[in-house]
Amino acid sequence: MSGDIDQLRTEIDALDDELVGLLARRARLAQRIGELKGNAGAYRPEREAQVLRRVTGRAAAPLPPEAVDALAEEGAALAAFHADGSPVAGRRVRQSR
C-alpha cells in the first residue's frame, strides 16, 4: 500500500511541475500580447470572461465547473500579474508563502 501511495504522490508531483510550467508559458504568451499592444490596455475583461466560459465548459469529474473556473481565474490573475507587475484589481496573488 505504501508503495502505491508513494507512486501516486510521485505522479502528482510531476503533474504539479507540469502545471507550473504551463502557467509560466501562459504568462509569457500574455506578456507577449501586452508587448504587441504596446502594454496599453492589454487586460480585456471581455476576453477573460470568454476564456473562463470556455475552460469552465471543459470541466471534467471529479472537478466541478466552479473549481475549474476558480483555477482559470487564478491563472488569468497570474498572467496579468506577470504582464504588468501587479495583480488585476480585486484579485489576490500570493507573492510568497
Mean pLDDT of the chain: 79
Q: Indicate whether 90 belongs to any domain.
A: no
* Gap between the Cα atoms of 49 and 30, Å rounded: 15
- By CB atoms closer than 10 A (0-12, 13-18, 19+), residue 50 is exposed
Q: Indicate whether 92 belongs to any domain.
A: no
Q: Please say if the pLDDT value at position 12 is more than 90.
A: yes
Query: Tell me, what's the pLDDT at 8?
Result: 96
**Percentage, residues of the chain above pLDDT 70:** 74
CB 48 within 8 A of CB 76: yes
Q: Please say if the pLDDT value at position 79 is more than 70.
A: no
Q: Domain span at residue 8? A: 2-84
Contacts of 38 (CB under 8 A, 6+ apart): none
Look up the CATH number of the domain holding residue 54: 1.20.59.10
Q: Indicate whether 58 belongs to any domain.
A: yes
**In the chain, how many domains are there?**
1
Q: Indicate whether 38 belongs to any domain.
A: yes
Q: Indicate whether 16 belongs to any domain.
A: yes
Average confidence (pLDDT) over 7-36: 89
